[in-house]
Amino acid sequence: MGSRSGDLDPAIIDFIGSKEGLTPHDVESLLNKQSGLLGISGLTSDMRELLDEASENNDRRARLAIEIFCYRARKYIGAYLAAMGGAEAVVFTGGIGENSAEIRAKICGNLGWMGLEVDSDRNAAHTGGREGIITGDQSRLAAYVIPTDEELLIARDTVRCTTTLSPDRSA
């Protein structure tokens, strides 16, 4: 995540507080606002900036943040596929998923064992809001880029909620 810690052992909260002399509120702030990509890199929570830093300046902490991000995404893909007994596709969406072919390639790079084979040309062609498949024709597990439109979803949900309420019910 950009600035949040993600999964962690619950014992870490008291450990950090005691070791660093932080209040519970300070630890919560640290884990929710100063961790993730920002905390690892020490630079930013913006993946675009981290990719630039890693490429242009070979910044080791930027590289580490990117590597950990991609590792954790692979870990979750594997866990979800195991929990669901498989799937037909993996979908990349949201800011990084929609816009970074490099990150998608890094995430999928070690997933060939499960039949996910990214086509580099297709992957590169689907950025900046372009929807489509990014895996090759021989891939047993498909991967897609599907842009989000959160404002549209919020508007649709609002309309649905307001039109389904009967006059005698209130929200």
**Nearest in space to 125 (alpha carbons), one of 139, 140, 145:** 145
Distance between CA atoms of 157 and 143, rounded to whole angstroms?
Answer: 27
Residues 1 and 76 in one domain: yes
Q: In what order do the strands lie in the sheet with 142-145?
A: 89-92, 142-145, 132-133
**Structural domains counted in the chain:** 2
Report strand pairing: 89-92 vs 142-145. Answer: parallel
CATH classification of the domain holding 15: 3.30.420.40
| 13 phi/psi in degrees, rounded to 5 | -60, -50
Q: 69: which 2 tokens?
A: 């991000």
Residues 7 and 81 in one domain: yes
Per-residue pLDDT of the chain (171 residues; tens, 9 = 90+): 888 998 899 999 999 999 999 999 999 999 999 999 999 999 999 999 999 999 999 999 999 999 999 999 999 999 999 999 999 999 999 889 999 999 999 999 989 999 999 999 999 999 888 999 999 999 999 999 999 888 888 898 899 888 876 565 555
- Residue range of the domain that includes 82: 1-86
Residues 3 and 68 in one domain: yes
What is the model's pTM? 0.84
Query: Any idea what DSSP says for residue 138?
Result: T
